[in-house]
Amino acid sequence: MFVQVNAAGGVPVYDQIARQVTFAVANGALAPGDLAPSVRELAKELAVNPNTVARAYRELQRQEVVETAPGIGLVIRSGARRVCQTLRRNLLRERVQTVLRETLDAGLDADEVRSLLETELSKLSQSYRRPGESA
Amino acid sequence: MFVQVNAAGGVPVYDQIARQVTFAVANGALAPGDLAPSVRELAKELAVNPNTVARAYRELQRQEVVETAPGIGLVIRSGARRVCQTLRRNLLRERVQTVLRETLDAGLDADEVRSLLETELSKLSQSYRRPGESA
Amino acid sequence: MFVQVNAAGGVPVYDQIARQVTFAVANGALAPGDLAPSVRELAKELAVNPNTVARAYRELQRQEVVETAPGIGLVIRSGARRVCQTLRRNLLRERVQTVLRETLDAGLDADEVRSLLETELSKLSQSYRRPGESA
Amino acid sequence: MFVQVNAAGGVPVYDQIARQVTFAVANGALAPGDLAPSVRELAKELAVNPNTVARAYRELQRQEVVETAPGIGLVIRSGARRVCQTLRRNLLRERVQTVLRETLDAGLDADEVRSLLETELSKLSQSYRRPGESA
DNA sequence: GTGGTCTAGACCACC
DNA sequence: GTGGTCTAGACCACG
């Protein structure tokens, strides 16, 4: 499955779930018309309270990513891919801005920041050549 | 003064204070032997409860950045500069890693991440050429 | 319950609570995976402000004894037993060294110290054969 | 000089001074009729606020260890030696009891405590064969 | 004047 | 229900 949660770290579980579903749609791993995993199934798999999964889906519904198909479940909406790509772009941009602001607030200049970023990026990007491959 | 807090944003105020003092020591704006701004004074200046400032200082004390001189105030410890530089480096590295991991998890490849970072960095770094100048 | 506080004596209440929980984990009275007594419950039982208990738990969290399970409570971490045994050993050793140094600074020689310790220990140890029995 | 203070460690400075003078009298290093070091002189030597030294002497006066000899200074009173030996005994006994209670509260049994004490005592007592010799 | 501790009570997010 | 944060204000010891 494409979703995994990390209870520690302060990030709300429902948020992690919603975000990962959004990313999956943006990537095409979930396509419009597909059924999203059921609340019970996903809750069981993640060892998480069903309420938590339900809340994640509620967010996705509000953002027009999924819709309920009565008697069937939750399906990915037709316009979801574009929506999710936008959500993803805005989310990432905001996160990037925050962390860049932090480095500049700390007193580093732009080139020190660039070198820090490149160092860490080259370290990390190796493990991500084929994301999920080893998971 | 070198510290300012932002009530919104979810980051605890006591954390913002502690971090900014740490950065000030790392930068040399506060030197070992100096008295840190008093709890009451800083609380008044930031329009924040003294307990919140006290909590920030408690963290700094635990990290061996300041020590209490009873009846005098809080003084920057002798080894503080190195400690703060280490703290700053580790903090920034961890934040950078987190956000990079997020972008890669979202399905971007390394070059897309590079371009995103460079775009945002060049936008931001202009305002930081002389930090505080326009504030 | 395994914790009781003594308002007099100068020892901070939050410290007494943290120490006693540490000892309980070291003894096995609290095992990894267990839920620590809730902040509100413990505060009520000890007739102490919830903030004070929260502060004690904050210390324990910093020492990696407990971790917060959001919406659930505080759980004893997996490595906690070893950590607490180490904390206990270091704490006691330091306290013993301090008091021994005091006696030697006071001008007593080693044998005078031994006799003082044995006198007091035999007086006290009787009440502790079955700790809590007479309480 | 027989007095030295340690600002860190939480023990009030005035307390450290008073206690060390008490011990010096108990040992005979200061004898009845001797002049105690003047407030200014001692304050300067210890790099401490004169108020702090004054407070220490106030305590000693209250405990009938010293008395003011107008125009001369503070002298050790005639009965001081016995008084100081009693003070010392009570102080040490109380400190010893406290730490023993802590070890027993921590779950150690009497023999474990004995072994802990003996280990630390033999380590420490070596440096104290001739106290102050290397200072 | 300084910091440290504690109480009381509010509000938030999460489950 | 849970913990986390913050405010408001009191009291203490120290210098």
Residue numbers in A near B95 (CB within 8 A):
99, 102-103
Closest among A118, C102, A122 to D128, alpha carbons compared? C102
Predicted confidence (pLDDT) at residue B135 exceeds the cutoff of 70: no
Bases of chain E below 7 A from a protein C-beta are 1-10, 13-15
Q: Which two tokens stand for residue C97?
A: 């060294």
A 10 A CB-CB count for D73 gives 14
Strand F and C39 CB separated by under 7 Å: yes
Say whether C74 sits in a helix, a strand or coil: strand
Predicted confidence (pLDDT) at residue D130 exceeds the cutoff of 60: no
Please state whether beta strands B73-76 and C66-69 pair in parallel, antiparallel, or not at all (unpaired).
unpaired
Tell me which of A2-6, A61-65, C43-47 is least confident: A2-6
The confidence band for A3, taking pLDDT boundaries of 50, 70 and 90, is confident
Residue numbers in A near C69 (CB within 8 A):
7
Mean pLDDT for the stretch of residues A66-94: 92
Residue-wise burial string across C106-125, b where 16 or more C-beta atoms lie within 10 A, e elsewhere: bbbebeebbebbeebbeebb
Q: Which residues fall within 8 angstroms of residue B93, CB to CB, at 6 or more apart?
A: A116, A120
Predicted confidence (pLDDT) at residue A74 exceeds the cutoff of 60: yes
Contact D13 B70 (CB under 8 A): yes
Strand E and B14 CB separated by under 7 Å: no
Amino acid of residue D49? N
- Amino acid A135: pLDDT: 41
CB of D8 less than 8 A from some CB of B = yes
**Distance from residue C126's CA to nucleotide E15's C1', rounded to whole Å:** 48
Predicted confidence (pLDDT) at residue A7 exceeds the cutoff of 70: yes
Residue numbers in B near D8 (CB within 8 A):
67
Q: Give the Å distances, CA to CA, from A8 to A11, A14, A16, C69.
A: 7, 13, 12, 8
Q: How many helices (H) and strands (E) does chain D have?
A: 5, 2
- Amino acid A129: pLDDT: 63
Residues in chain A: 135
Strand E and B34 CB separated by under 7 Å: no
- Amino acid A1: pLDDT: 64
CB of A95 less than 8 A from some CB of B = yes
Helix (H) or strand (E) holding B56: helix B50-62
The confidence band for C135, taking pLDDT boundaries of 50, 70 and 90, is very low
Average pLDDT taken over every residue of chain A: 89
Chains D and A touch (3+ CB pairs under 8 A): no
- Amino acid B105: pLDDT: 86
- Amino acid A133: pLDDT: 52
pLDDT digits (tens, 9 = 90+) for B19-35: 999 999 999 999 999 99
Mean pLDDT for the stretch of residues D123-134: 68
Mean pLDDT for the stretch of residues D101-113: 91
Question: For residues B9 and D94, which has the higher predicted lDDT (pLDDT)?
Answer: D94
CA distance linking residue A81 with residue A31, whole number of Å: 7
**Distance from residue B85's CA to nucleotide E12's C1', rounded to whole Å:** 33
Bases of chain F below 7 A from a protein C-beta are 1-10, 13-15
Segments in chain C forming alpha helices (H): 13-27, 39-46, 50-62, 80-105, 110-125
Tell me which of A95-104, B15-24, B76-85, C34-43 is least confident: A95-104
Q: Does residue A75 contact residue A35 with C-beta atoms inside 8 Å? A: yes
pLDDT digits (tens, 9 = 90+) for B31-49: 999 999 999 999 999 999 9
Mean pLDDT for the stretch of residues C100-104: 91
Alpha-carbon torsion D73, D42, C95, C59, what sign? positive
Which residue of chain A comes nearest to B128, CA vs CA? A104
CA distance linking residue B51 with residue C81, whole number of Å: 33
Mean pLDDT for the stretch of residues C87-98: 94
How far away is chain A from the Cα of B75, in angstroms, using its nearest Cα?
A: 21
Q: Does residue C97 contact residue B97 with C-beta atoms inside 8 Å? A: no
**C97, C98, C124 ranked by CB distance to D100: nearest:** C124
Q: At what angle do helices A110-125 and B80-105 cross, to 10 degrees?
A: 50
Predicted confidence (pLDDT) at residue C8 exceeds the cutoff of 60: yes
Count Cα atoms within 13 angstroms, Cβ side, for C86: 8
The confidence band for A8, taking pLDDT boundaries of 50, 70 and 90, is confident
**Distance from residue B109's CA to nucleotide F12's C1', rounded to whole Å:** 59
pLDDT digits (tens, 9 = 90+) for C9-28: 889 999 999 999 999 999 99
pLDDT digits (tens, 9 = 90+) for B71-98: 999 999 999 999 999 999 999 999 999 9
